[in-house]
Amino acid sequence: MLLVFGILLWAADRFSKPGRDDRVPGWGPTIACGLFQCLALVPGVSRSGITLTAGRLTGLSRMASARFSFMLSAPIVLAAVTYSSISKAHVLLHEMPLSTLLIGVASAAVFGLFAIQFMLGLLRRTGFGVFAAYRVILALVLFIYWAGHRGA
């Protein structure tokens, strides 16, 4: 799946027009990104990669696709943090001080925003080809590793 969806990301970016730089995507791209996101349940399919692909296939620019993909991650992250906090609050609060937990959450948020800004800057300079190449190379390395250890 790494290989297949890496090639699909590259092809969607390479053969799509420059696209619309919508700050707020319309219904078509929004529904397509939501539906494509379901494919991330398949091992080897990246949630962000598949939403980037869907954005490009529905006519969004690279930057609009990336902004929307990052925005789509917010509810997922919030739900995971909320679930984890509720289900494990008693364990966390007994194992570490509240101040340590709050500093960890705050630093994760700050560095997460820095990472998003870095990725958007990289995307402006290079396009999706770098991300697609990473997926293809990783898939090939894993194939070679698997083939070498298959008989062991």
Q: Going residue by residue through the chain, which has 152 residues, state the pLDDT in tens, using 9 for 90 and above.
A: 989 999 999 999 889 888 787 777 888 888 999 899 889 899 989 888 999 999 999 999 988 998 888 888 888 778 877 877 777 766 666 777 878 878 988 898 899 889 888 988 888 888 888 889 999 999 999 999 988 887 65
pTM score, two decimals?
0.77
- Mapped onto helix, strand or coil, the DSSP state of residue 150 is coil
Residue type, 141: V
Show the domain range for 37. Answer: 2-149
Cβ–Cβ < 8 Å for 61, 18: yes
Q: How many domains does the chain have?
A: 1
Instruction: Output phi, psi for 136, to 5 deg.
Output: -65, -45
Distance CA 14, CA 17 (A): 8
pLDDT at 136: 92
Count of C-beta atoms within a 10 Å radius of residue 67: 21
